[in-house]
Amino acid sequence: MPRLTVSMLAGKPDAYRTAILDNLYRAMRETLGVPDDDQFITLTEHAPANFRFGNAYGIARSADLVYIQITVFDTRTPEQKKALYRRIAELLAESPGLRPEDVFINVYDAPAVNWSVGGGVAQFG
């Protein structure tokens, strides 16, 4: 039951953004085993004045940088998360052609009781 938020500079075509969304879902299916149609992803675009990045940690980033924030149940292992990071970078390199240096991912772990996916009910806790 991952929830993803993608942030990037505005101006990329629809096909580019769709490739990001499709490949994020594919990576989650392959590495985290998320159920079919478990797609809760938003993508927000920002004007240059509202989007900052640097080259900290020895990584030369470009204006193609995407921030990917993923919230998941706190049951995911470090190995699953590392596999997810790798697979996202691989798939986004294939399409839409992002350099791995421009894929910035962070994962938040949340207890299952912290989730309500509709109806005002804690379905998982």
Please give the Cα distance from 53 to 68 (Å, whole number): 13
Q: Which residue has the tokens 């879902």?
A: 25
Q: What is the pLDDT of residues 55-76, one digit of tens each?
A: 999 999 999 999 999 999 899 9
**121 vs 41 pLDDT, higher one:** 41
Please give the Cα distance from 45 to 77 (Å, whole number): 31
The pLDDT, as a whole number, for residue 49 is: 98
The pLDDT, as a whole number, for residue 125 is: 76
User: pTM for the full model?
Assistant: 0.93
